[in-house]
Chains A and B, each alone.
Chain A
Amino acid sequence: MGRGAGPWAGLPPARLVLVLSILAALLAAVAAASAAPAAPKGTWESIVLLYHSDVGGKVEPCG
């Protein structure tokens, strides 16, 4: 069965898997941007949730 129209459609190619150095840079940037002090009680507070899964232990794929 082909996968072109399946659940994998639209995912980026396996150019790199868990690009550790890029993830590190991204996390540092988001953390810096989110480092504002907690909002005063009574006002809404912005919190960023970053999530992923199934990293699979690979440093790089075959290409």
Chain B
Amino acid sequence: MLLVDAGGLFGPRNKLERDQTRFVCEVTGGFGYDAIGLGQADLNYGIGFLREMIEKNRLPFTNANVRDKATGQLLLPPWLVVQKGNVKFGIVSVLDPAEPFITMTAQDEAYQVDDPVATLRTVIPELRKQAQTIVLLSHLDLPRTESLLKEVAGVDIAVVGHTHQALPGERVVGKTVMLAAGFEGRTIGRLNGEFDRDGVMQAFTLKLVELDEKIADDAVTQEKVTQFKQKLEEARQSLRGRHQQVKGSASEQFLTQYECRKCHADIYAKLEGSRHNAALATLARKGMAQEPDCLACHTTGYEFKGGYDDKPPANRLANVQCEACHGYGSLHRRDGRWKAEARSTCVTCHDQKNSPKFDFATYWAKIRH
């Protein structure tokens, strides 16, 4: 079995996410990855953190086109050679120079990214001398990878990252099989390859495997997750104050939907049974009602001055109420103003990560008022 990740293993740029990333690295380090490509997000916490994770967890990161700007040296090994059975795989990774690095250590570090086409035209002939099958971990999304493969010969298999699209079936560009398994580990791709005596893949089948309840949990890992979540909860509690009530105006007030109801009883009645009005319960069922990143979308005004808090009276702003989309009720009561174009607010929460099936027309029909 050859196990690879095409980059983007690390989380977003804040300390809580860094703690989660540290845990994910500890666990996945035990999975025995053969190669992990570098994505921009993997430098979110700086090269020092990445190297610490590599060393502590034996994570086989590789990349051929990102350099320390000060020294001109590559950050990582440009390729890896892995033998499985009788086949030697040469694994190389590149990322997109058009995507910026925005790191928590930006003031201390800068990176330069070489052109991936030129890089691969140099690397692949060298790698061919050591390996029979070349695997590219391409953190360039699908269209850019496809363009690249039209300019670079010699790649047998390209696993694509930096994409939110999974490829369920066969896609071949020139002589290269392109593979993608979507994002966030929702699925893992499985290629069953048949390799001839020269280590050349002669046939294959593909399958996307959903990581769902049809597969039983591994008890040891599940226990680690449970223990980590307890620690994470303590960290969340200490961080909550920093996320909370940082936007908006202290001179305005959220009035709660119960005030809105006094004049708009018909609308209130319509929305009372909606999923918006049960949004906090959704979090609570998962034991995540204290997660700052989640509360912003599962309550009213969590990030705004005067917004939701779990203590009275601000806990009356639980769930997604009228003012979550239409803005401070005090503005409306004073001069009749309200956010007429509330539609634009939808996508601040119904984003690709949390609401991948969001379609305005379909969703609006559920709460039309």
What residues make up the interface of A, taking CB atoms closer than 8 Å to B? 1-5, 7-28, 30-31, 34, 38-39, 41-63
Question: B4 contacts the other chain (Cβ, under 8 Å)?
Answer: yes
B31 within 8 A of A: yes
Interface centre among A16, A25, A45, A50 (most CB of B within 10 A): A50
CA distance A34 to B139 in the complex (A): 28
Chain A residue contacts of B218, Cβ below 8 A: 21-22, 24-25, 28
B194 touches A51 (CB 8 A): no
Given contacts A2-B361, A54-B8, contact A21 B221 (CB under 8 A): yes
Instruction: Report how many residues on chain B are interfacial, defined by Cβ distance under 8 Å.
Output: 102
Cβ B183 vs Cβ A56 within 8 A: yes
Distance of A25 from chain B, by nearest CB (Å): 4
Residues of B within 8 A of A13 (CB): 356-357
Chain B proximity of A21: nearest CB distance (Å): 4
Query: B194 near A54 (CB under 8 angstroms)?
Result: no
CA distance A27 to B30 in the complex (A): 11
Taking A21-B219, A54-B8 as known contacts, 16 extra A-B pairs with beta carbons closer than 8 A to each other, sorted by chain A number, are A4-B362, A21-B217, A21-B222, A31-B1, A38-B85, A49-B189, A49-B193, A50-B1, A51-B3, A51-B159, A52-B181, A52-B188, A58-B11, A60-B286, A62-B288, A62-B354
Instruction: Check A59/B194 contact, CB under 8 A, given A7-B164, A45-B86, A53-B39.
Output: no
Q: Are B193 and A2 in contact (CB under 8 A)?
A: no
Contact A49 B2 (CB under 8 A): yes
Contact assessment for B211 and A26 in the assembled complex, using a CB-CB cutoff below 8 Å:
yes
- In angstroms, Cα B227 to Cα A20, docked, is 13
**Closest CB in chain B relative to A60 CB, distance in Å:** 7
B11→A57 contact, CB < 8 A: yes
Which residues in B have their C-beta under 8 angstroms from that of A21?
217-219, 221-222, 225
CA distance A28 to B10 in the complex (A): 23
Q: Which residue on chain A has the smallest CB distance to residue B223?
A: A21
Q: Mark B1-44, 1 if CB is under 8 A from A, else 0.
A: 11111111111100001101101100110111000010101000
Choose from A1, A18, A31, A45 the contact partner of B85 (Cβ within 8 Å). Answer: A45
B286 close to A18 (CB less than 8 A)? no
B345 at interface by CB-CB < 8 Å? no
Q: Are B221 and A24 in contact (CB under 8 A)?
A: yes
Pull 15 A–B residue pairs with CB atoms less than 8 Å apart, ordered by A.
Answer: A14-B353, A14-B354, A17-B186, A22-B211, A47-B193, A49-B190, A50-B188, A50-B190, A51-B179, A51-B188, A51-B191, A53-B137, A56-B183, A62-B354, A63-B288
Q: Which of A23, A26, A48, A49 has the most CB of B within 10 A?
A: A49
Segment with Cβ contacts to A, from B235-243, B291-299, B306-314: B291-299
| Contact between chains at B184 and A56 (CB < 8 Å) | yes
CB pair A8–B225 under 8 Å, yes or no, is no
Contact status of A59 and B357, CB under 8 A, knowing A2-B362, A11-B166, A12-B187: no
B residues within 8 A CB of A38? 85-86
